[in-house]
Amino acid sequence: MRKFLIAGNWKMNKNYDEALQLARAIQQRAVNEKKINIGVFVPAPYLREMSLESPDLIVGAQNIYWEQYGAFTGEISPPMLRSLGISWTLIGHSERRALFGETDEDVNRKTVAALKHCFFPIVCVGETLSQREKKTTLDIIGKQVKELFYEIPADMARSVTVAYEPVWAIGTGKTATPDDAEEVHAYIRMIITSLYGREISDEVRILYGGSVKPSNAASLLKMRNVDGALIGGASLNKEDFISICDTAVSIDKREGK
């Protein structure tokens, strides 16, 4: 059984005091929560404080670089994050790809570097609106997924979480229908099976992201291959985020339920 992971991607939002308040509220919700994992991916300057304050949350970075040290102004390396006690990171978010020019090759390099330093990376894939309209969604996703796992051995692959985030659904209020999301999630799992076999693909969590909110979370999370959510806008509001966590707890996908 894959545990749900409900993760907030705060992006470049919240000043320090606001961030601390939000993290505290979510931490309170996470105390004694055994059924799901709850995570927050916070702006880099807040990582240390948030992780110390939030022992029951996954606290992760929004980005990571593949080199360890050196002349790479502005970048943050895996050993630096590890030295802050951080072991989770997002990689290849569509905003990084679109606004900061990250390629599939960069995403693979970051994933390899993160895994070598024992991180749990959440690697984002997703098609644009025009790619969906041209019905090339599965081709695009297939390429992104194969490239992200390029030269990653099986024992490391199991630490990866994939997030399917259709670009056209991010911050737009438009969400993939549960059936559309399931189609892509099942396809991603099939590719992972072809690369690593059934045992590992059964273990890898595949999250959905793109305008997830309290009103649509249940229908998405009920789908067989949707193992959680990566939430932008709604994760900035504690009531909304906690409500999505509560929804996840209420869903039981075990056989016969």
Asked if 205 and 5 count as a contact pair (C-beta separation under 8 A), the reply is yes
Find the helix packing angle between 238-250 and 16-30, rounded to 10°. Answer: 20
Residue 165 annotated among the catalytic residues of the structure: yes
Using CB positions, name the residue nearest to ligand 13P.
232
Q: Judge whether 147 and 106 are in contact, CB under 8 Å.
A: no
Which region, judged by CB under 6 A, interacts with ligand 13P, from 12-20, 68-76, 208-216, 247-255? 208-216
Among 141, 170, 191, 245, binds ligand 13P (CB under 6 A): 170
Q: Which of 18, 171, 215, 239 binds ligand 13P (CB under 6 A)?
A: 171
Which 218-247 residues touch ligand 13P, going by CB under 6 A?
Answer: 230-234
Is-contact 63 97, C-beta < 8 A?
Answer: no
CB of 36 to ligand 13P, least distance (A): 17
Nearer to ligand 13P, 188 or 196 (CB): 188
Is residue 93 involved in binding ligand 13P (CB under 6 A)?
yes
Q: Which among 102, 127, 165, 182 is annotated as catalytic? A: 165
Task: Point out which span in 53-61, 79-87, 186-194, 207-215 binds ligand 13P (CB under 6 A).
Answer: 207-215
* Stretch in the footprint of ligand 13P (CB under 6 A) among 78-86, 146-154, 163-171, 246-254: 163-171
Residues 247, 218 contacting (CB under 8 angstroms): yes
The DSSP line for 174-194 is: ----HHHHHHHHHHHHHHHHH
Position 210 contacts ligand 13P (CB under 6 A): yes
Residue pair 209/174 in contact (Cβ under 8 Å)? The answer is no
Q: Which residue of 27, 51, 89, 211 would you call a contact of ligand 13P, by CB under 6 A?
A: 211
| 9 near ligand 13P, judged by CB under 6 A | yes
Q: Which two tokens stand for residue 27?
A: 């931490």
Beta bridge partner(s), residue 8: 40, 231
Specify whether 117 is catalytic.
no
CA 26 to each of CA 112, 119, 207, 250: distance values in angstroms, whole numbers, following the listed order: 30, 22, 19, 18
Closer CB to ligand 13P, residue 196 or residue 245?
A: 245
193 φ, ψ (degrees, to nearest 5): -60, -45
Residue 94, SS3?
helix
User: Cα 156–161–162 angle (5° rounding)?
Assistant: 120
Task: State the amino acid at position 138 in one-letter form.
Answer: L
Closest contact distance (angstroms) between CB of 68 and ligand 13P is: 26
Instruction: Give the nearest distance from C-beta 124 to ligand 13P in angstroms.
Output: 7
The least CB distance from residue 202 to ligand 13P, in Å, is 24
**d(Cα 223, Cα 216) in Å, to the nearest integer?**
12
Residues of this chain that interact with ligand 13P (CB under 6 A) are: 9, 93, 165, 170-171, 209-212, 230-234
Q: Which residues are catalytic?
A: 93, 165
